[in-house]
Amino acid sequence: MSETIKVPTMAEYMAEGKKPEVLFWVGCAGSFDDRAKKITKAFVKLLHSANVDFAVLGTEESCTGDPAKRAGNEFLFQMQAVTNIEVMNAYEIKKVVTACPHCFNTLKNEYPVLGGDYDVMHHTQFLKSLLDEGRLTVEGGKFKGKRITFHDPCYLGRANNVYEAPRDLLKKLEVELIEMKRCKRNGLCCGAGGAQMFKEPEPGNKDVNIERTEDALETKPDIIAAGCPFCNTMMTDGVKNKEKEDSIDVMDVAELIANAQDL
Amino acid sequence: MQYIPNILFVIALVAGIGYFIKNIRKVIRNIRLGKDVDRSDDKAARFKNMAMIALGQSKMVRRPIAGILHIVVYIGFIIINIEVLEIIIDGIFGTHRIFSFLGPLYDFLIGSFEILAFLVFVGVILFWTRRNVIKLKRFWNPEMKGWPKNDGNLILYFEMVLMTLFLVMNAADLQLQELGSGHYISAGSYPISQFISPLFEGMSEGSLILLERGAWWLHILGILVFLNYLYFSKHLHILLAFPNTYYGDLKPKGQLDNLEAVTKEVMLMMDPNADPFAAPAEDQAEEGEPEKFGASDVMDLNWAQLLNAYTCTECGRCTSECPANQTGKKLSPRKIMMDTRDRLKEVGDNIDKNGSFVDDGKQLLNDYISTEELWACTSCNACVEACPVSISPLSIIMDMRRYLVMEESAAPTDLNNMMSNIENNGAPWPFNQMDRVNWSKE
Ligand code: SF4
Ligand code: SF4
């Protein structure tokens, strides 16, 4: 895949004296992780197809500081936060959308006290609002009738009580949405949060992502839908561990919508 | 001579309540050892939480069997305690069934108390069975060995005995009423104890009075002992659930507090006009010792976290939902709460003994909670969501990680690498910040 998609930066907007409708906060995973980059692109395609006037910070974006904060390094977190806030405030950002629930939580809840007060949305919420405004059409397309189960990201679900936006979008795809026995506020973590993504698990008898993948496999899904790049990695690894990668895809809600329409 | 029972009663009552108050004041003092945290906002939401979660048991019923049994025992226990009011008045003034003048209402009340007492009895038997026969996993985790296990059962035995005494007292009373004995006026209705009463048929009036008085005394003394037992037990939650749900965290669960002390330093570093040498000195002059980051002992936690520890019911719902615990890691959020409480009590005893806290060479970190437990947490909030009384084990875990990282630089190597990546490249992986938009061209 080597198609260049148009992604305007805030600096470019500034140079033209314009302001976008929304800032797309790509996040570190979305910028660097090979799997997550595909989610980023799918989301950008949807933004284009809905004619959303957006921009990214590009090289001016830096880690929100979430993993540092959850690892206990409040100092590094606040350094990151203050730097990012300075950049965003200089661009007079009002509205932010991100495809990462960790960035979402941090930007929305932990930046305001440090002077960064924005209207922050998770990409599933944003897509849902585009749908409601009639700017985006979501149709079944090739996923119609497929069995899909949605894994709730902790930082979207329990942490911020967003359970319905991703499900509403999936329902629009005319798929058969099957819930795992532990879902919504009872959903089990994928194992990546709290900076676990960046370390070896502590000694135990199983990896959390395997436990969660088993929950998902119980629903006999064609596709496991995720709303977080880290959950995506964890569930993909879990599916591989169970040698099911040929029959079960792990896909982000944005990818499902974009692929359904062959964008 | 005639007033001896009254006097003994008053002595028992004053001693029982007095000792209880003394211990509750200790609990309050210990909770105040915590740092300050503002929980005075949005009183309406707080009252609502208290009404729903503590009074209304809204989170208990998320597990229907345990929830409904708990509601039965809880309502039964509260309502039956109205009877205690009569017992106290009778005990002080030497009257018998002082409220019997209420007539039909009295019959109704006593009748309902009996039915509730019976339901409580059944509920408690079922609870006991779940713990000891069915052996529900969450009651058999490692932290539930020894005292916590015995404590759980003792409470159940207490309630069984108290309910039995109450019913036996009524049954004997009923026999005496039928005999037309002395001041055993005919009052009350006895839907349950009427089935116990035939057991005592044929007993002499004297033995019946002995039985009735015996049960009456043991019942009220049992209640006083139980009241004082609370302080030593997880059963303290029947009182503390109320303040704890009131003072619970109202922020979204994902929101971790931002340490203000750190903010000050960060702002100073970011401010190009600040004089890097003058400012800290000034700060120190004002505040004495520089503030310690994070928590290594209970005094470093805030009072709401310490109140959490005293409120924990050791129900283990948190642990049974914890992804780390389910996959065999050492972490158990319930143990975090139990350790905090045990350590806080130890610190409290130390203060009682020495007048003020004297270093005992111990702390919450390592002596109670190991770093392995702390590093197993995924910050998923499942424990917080599961807790029926609004406790956050996660907030203690995070404060202790802060201490490990900011005071001791004791993060696991992988995390140190992640953090130096963020510091140097603005991402947790070793990629160049200048490559952040390369994805659009790939
Ligand atoms: S937040 Fe941590 S302690 Fe609580 S359930 Fe999740 S992993 Fe366990
Ligand atoms: S913290 Fe809450 S859920 Fe966990 S054992 Fe204590 S009361 Fe139960």
Helix (H, G, I), strand (E, B) or coil at B177: helix
Kindly state whether A217 is in contact with chain B, defined as any CB-CB distance less than 8 angstroms.
Answer: no
Which residue has the least CA distance to atom 2 on ligand 1? B377
Name the residue facing B411 among A71, A196, A208 (closest C-beta): A71
Examine the pLDDT at A138 and tell me if it is beyond 80: yes
Contact indicator for B220, B84 with CB cutoff of 8 Å: yes
Q: Could you tell me the pLDDT band of residue B281, with boundaries at 50, 70 and 90?
A: very low
Which of B193, B418, B345, B251 lies closest to A67 in space, CA to CA? B418
Alpha-carbon radius of gyration of chain B: 28
Whether A59 contacts A101, CB under 8 Å:
no
Pocket test for ligand 1, best of B329, B377, B387, B395 (most atoms within 8 A of CB): B377
Residue A149 Cα distances to A132, A165, A170, A236, B413, angstroms: 23, 14, 9, 14, 36
Q: Which of the following CATH numbers is that of domain A137-260: 3.20.20.10, 3.40.50.2300, 1.10.8.420, 1.10.240.10? A: 3.40.50.2300
Determine, for residues A110 and B378 on separate chains, whether the beta-carbon distance falls below 8 Å. no
Residue B275 has pLDDT above 70, yes or no: no
Contact residues, A window 47-76, toward B, CB-based 8 Å cutoff = 56, 58-59, 61-63, 65, 67-76
- One-letter amino acid for residue B109 of the chain: L
Q: Rounded mean pLDDT of A118-131?
A: 98
Q: Is the ipTM of this complex over 0.90?
A: yes
DSSP states of B331-367 as a string? Answer: --HHHHHHHHHHHHHHHHHHHHHHSS----S--SBTT
pLDDT in tens, A161-177: 999 999 999 999 999 99
- Residue B155 pLDDT class (50, 70, 90 cuts): very high
Sign for the CA dihedral angle at B236, B238, B239, B245 comes to: positive
Arithmetic mean of pLDDT, B212-220: 95
Taking residues A85-109, report their average pLDDT.
97
The Å distance, Cα B376 to ligand 1 centre, comes to 8
Do the beta carbons of residue B187 and residue B108 sit within 8 Å? no
Show the 3-state SS of B92-139.
HHCCCCHHHHHCHHHHHHHHHHHHHHHHHHHHHHHHHHHHHCCCCHHH
Question: Residue A196 C-alpha to ligand 1 middle, in angstroms?
Answer: 12
Instruction: Look up the CATH number of domain A10-131.
Output: 3.40.50
Predicted pLDDT of residue B283: 47
Confidence class of residue A142 from pLDDT cuts 50, 70 and 90?
confident
Q: How many CB atoms lie within 10 A of CB A98?
A: 25
Looking at every residue in chain B, the average pLDDT score rounds to 93
- Nearest ligand 1 atom to the CA of B318 is 5
Chain B residues in contact with A62 by the CB 8 A cut-off are: 426-427, 433
Structure confidence at residue B265 as a pLDDT band (50, 70, 90): confident
Q: Please tell me the predicted confidence (pLDDT) of residue A98.
A: 98
Residue B318: closest C-alpha in chain A: A186
Q: How many CB atoms lie within 10 A of CB B239?
A: 17
Measured from the CB, is residue B76 less than 6 Å from ligand 1? no
Q: Is B336 in the pocket of ligand 2 (CB under 6 A)?
A: no
Question: What is the C-alpha separation between B198 and B173, in angstroms, rounded?
Answer: 12
Residue B276 backbone dihedrals phi, psi, to 5 degrees:
-60, -20
Domains identified in chain B and CATH numbers: 4-237 (no CATH), 260-283+290-429 (1.10.1060)
Ligand 1 atom closest to the Cα of residue A154 is: 6
Helices B303-311 and B393-402, axial angle in degrees (round to 10): 130
Residue B282 pLDDT exceeds 50: no
Q: Which atom of ligand 1 is nearest to the CA of B386?
A: 5
C-alpha to C-alpha distance for B421 and A81, rounded to whole angstroms? 15
Q: What is the mean pLDDT of chain A?
A: 95
Ligand 1 pocket, mutate which of B397, B399, B400, B401 (most atoms under 8 A from CB): B397
Closest residue of chain A to B329, computed from CA coordinates: A204
Cα dihedral sign, B284-B305-B137-B231: positive
Count of alpha carbons within 13 angstroms of residue B139, beta-carbon side: 17
Beta strand A119-122 pairing with A95-98: parallel
Instruction: Provide the token pair at B159.
Output: 């309630």
CA distances from B305 to A172, B71, B193, B350 (A): 44, 26, 45, 20
Q: How many CB pairs under 8 A join A and B?
A: 234
Q: Which of A136-145, A228-237, B78-87, B290-299 has the highest mean pLDDT?
A: A228-237
**Partner residue opposite B427 with nearest CB, options A28, A70, A79:** A28
**pLDDT for the residue numbered B285:** 45
- Smallest Cβ–Cβ distance between A105 and the set B254, B403, B436 belongs to B254
Min Cα–Cα distance to chain A from B373, Å: 8
Inter-chain contact A73–B405, Cβ cutoff 8 Å?
A: yes
Residue-wise pLDDT tens digits, B368-416? 999 999 999 999 999 999 999 999 999 999 999 999 999 999 999 999 9
Burial of A134 per CB tally in 10 Å (0-12, 13-18, 19+):
exposed
Helices (H), chain A: 10-15, 27-32, 34-49, 66-71, 74-90, 101-105, 123-132, 164-172, 208-218, 229-241, 253-260
Tell me how long chain B is.
442
**Residue A79's Cα: distance from chain center in Å?**
24
- Is residue A247 classed exposed, middle or buried when 0-12, 13-18 and 19+ CB atoms within 10 A define those classes? exposed
Segment A215-225, tens digit of pLDDT: 999 999 999 99
